[in-house]
Amino acid sequence: MVFRQRPEPLKLVLNRFLNARMDFSENDKKHFWAINKGYEGEVRSDIWLLNLTDNWLVLHDLLLEYSQSTFQIDTLIIAYEKIYLLDVKNFEGDYVVKDDKWYNPAGVLQKNPLHQLERCETLLKKLLHDLGNHFAIESYLIFNNPEFHLYIPSTQPDIIFPTQLNRFLKKLNTRPVKLNQKHFQLAEQLESLHKIESPYSKLPQYYFEKLNKGMACCNCNRFLTNETLICKNCGCIEEAESAILRSVNEFSLLFPDKKITTNTIHDWCDIIKSKKTIRRILAKNLELIRHSRSSYYSLKQ
């Protein structure tokens, strides 16, 4: 069973919002592409793992800390006799390994993902020991993009290639499964230790005044051009209330310290000409905070 679902990374959501409202530098584009590509691979892996028997405990996307060192776990599987640590890579193209160094299809030196996996396993072992658990750990590097190939001088049993995924899953499903309360307690402990990392310091610099104003299509993320809310790119149609509330959510995520007011959201949405419409929708769906000088709205908890 999936004990912890994988949320869409906030850093990806924020970058998607900003990409539609400003011109990214080449480095910002590469970063956005990389986190989007990585998330696609993780989601593909999550769907693949749904074929595990129900008795496994699967935790996705854990950010843990041991001795002031943080480490990210793509997927952790708790079995009866051991823990499986999976690091998912959505690499594409022909990669080469020479003298323990990894090179991408352009011949550029990359971080060795096996070294990253080893670091993660080491820190997890120490954390589990402190928690009073002594499960054995098996770590695997999972490549699930069918367009990936790795030229490597020797076999690596801790690397699972796209053509090996089904066999690897069958192997897992043949292992004994007799989970008890201690396994669920460990899953709860690890989930409680998950750290929330703020993505704001790693975003491109942006200001409300300089961002493009308007409303993006809920389907293709292209900017809408008129108040009918019909996307000229994909033909998608959205109700005004839904589109405005979606834009309010976008604004509140990008500017968590700014107050939500009728004037601000009117400016943010741009193509909705009626302030009365915006005020009515905000009053209906948000909480009005009355202030001596000015009132504003707050998202309902």
- Phi, psi (deg, nearest 5) at residue 26: -60, -40
The residues spanned by each domain of the chain are: 2-192, 207-298
Sign of the Cα pseudo-torsion (149, 153, 159, 163, in order): positive
Q: What pLDDT shows up at residue 7?
A: 94
Does residue 137 surpass a pLDDT of 80? yes
User: How does pLDDT run across 165-175, given as a tens digit for each residue?
Assistant: 999 999 888 87
pLDDT band at residue 55 using 50, 70 and 90 as cut-offs: confident
Can you give the pLDDT at residue 293? 75
Question: Any idea what the Cα angle at residue 42 is, between residues 9 and 44, rounded to 5°?
Answer: 130
**Encoding tokens for residue 35?**
């986190």
- pLDDT at residue number 47: 96
* pLDDT above 80 for 253: yes
Q: Mean pLDDT throughout 39-50?
A: 96
Q: What is the pLDDT of residues 267-286, one digit of tens each?
A: 999 999 999 999 999 999 99
CA distance 217 to 220: 6
Distance CA 104, CA 269 (A): 42
Q: Residue 292: pLDDT above 80?
A: no
pLDDT, tens digit, for every residue of 212-249?
999 989 898 888 888 889 999 998 999 999 999 999 99
Work out the burial of residue 91: count CB atoms within 10 Å of its CB; fewer than 13 is exposed, 13-18 middle, 19 or more buried. Answer: buried
Percentage of the chain surpassing pLDDT 70?
99
DSSP label at residue 259: -
Quote the CA–CA distance of 276 and 94 in Å, as a whole number: 57
Q: What is the CATH number of domain 207-298?
A: 1.10.10
